[in-house]
Amino acid sequence: DAKTTQPTSMDCAEGRAANLPCNHSTISGNEYVYWYRQIHSQGPQYIIHGLKNNETNEMASLIITEDRKSSTLILPHATLRDTAVYYCIVRVGTNAGKSTFGDGTTLTVKP
Amino acid sequence: DVKVTQSSRYLVKRTGEKVFLECVQDMDHENMFWYRQDPGLGLRLIYFSYDVKMKEKGDIPEGYSVSREKKERFSLILESASTNQTSMYLCASSPPGYSNQPQHFGDGTRLSIL
């Protein structure tokens, strides 16, 4: 699985959009990008995933660059409850679905 | 919604005890996983199973074993608990890997070995 690089921490004002970047410059053509978040003392929560097209669901939007070497998770209107560690993961389905989680980005939403 | 349920949120055991951590999922997923999470080390895969009675070692299987007798249940066993197995244990499930569908996690068991 490709390695990902994320900033260690970010702040965001409540009500504003939170844009979380992820670099995955060694991504292969059949690898998907997944985003999870983990709120303190809970298990990771799935947010969104994509291959090469931009994706949107009720939680967030995922923007993947055309060369697929980086992506951005967008929380359109951050709330205090979005404060969490956000993980960007790249993996290929044939790897039995295993995920390798790095250190992630600690997002702090401030009032 | 997918529900992955771990039997205990907090557990305290003594060194040398045999410890069982249970995980149940309600989405008929083929794959199930056990991870441990430690500060500064991220999530590390202990074992996974892609079918009933099937298991594969992950990155850190030493000191652990698993059991999957039914599709919905995946048990992690610490044969003789040691203090270095104090950790947060996370169970996850997913459809087959080729589906590219995400894993879904339980809320974890925080295990302390005294």
Mean pLDDT split into 10-residue runs, chain B, 114 residues:
89 97 94 91 89 91 96 97 97 82 92 98
Of residues B79, B51, B50, the one with CA closest to residue B65: B79
The residue whose two tokens read 């199973």 is B49
The tokens describing B6, both together, are 């771990």
pLDDT at residue A90 is higher than 60: yes
Looking at residue A95, its amino acid is N
pLDDT of residue B95: 86
Task: Say if CB A32 and CB A52 are below 8 A apart.
Answer: no
List strands edge to edge, sheet with B4-6. Answer: B4-6, B19-25, B73-78, B64-70
- Looking from the CA of A48 toward its CB, the CA atoms found within 13 Å total 22
pLDDT at residue A98 is higher than 70: no
B interface with A, Cβ–Cβ < 8 A, is 4, 31, 33, 35, 40, 42-43, 45, 48, 50, 56, 58, 90, 92, 94-108, 110
pLDDT of residue B80: 97
For chain A, what is the radius of gyration of the CA atoms? 13
The tokens describing B8, both together, are 């205990």
Residues of B in contact with A34 (CB under 8 A): 102
Helix (H) or strand (E) run with residue B9 in it: none
pLDDT digits (tens, 9 = 90+) for A21-75: 999 998 888 888 999 999 988 899 999 999 998 999 999 999 999 999 999 999 9
Mean per-residue pLDDT over chain A, rounded: 90
Calculated CA dihedral for residues B57, A32, A100, B37, nearest 10 degrees: -110
Share of chain A above pLDDT 70, in %: 92
pLDDT of residue B110: 96
Angstrom distance (rounded) from CA A33 to CA A91: 7
Query: Given B103, B105, B106, which is nearest A97 (Cβ)?
Result: B103
Q: What Å distances lie between residue B87 and A78, B35, B48, B114, CA to CA?
A: 31, 10, 18, 12
Contact A97 B58 (CB under 8 A): no
Contact B48 A49 (CB under 8 A): no
- Residue A99: pLDDT band by 50, 70, 90 thresholds? low
Please tell me which residue, A101 or A68, carries the higher pLDDT value: A68
Helix (H) or strand (E) run with residue A104 in it: none
Share of chain A above pLDDT 90, in %: 73
Helix, coil or strand: residue A36:
strand
The tokens describing B47, both together, are 């074992």
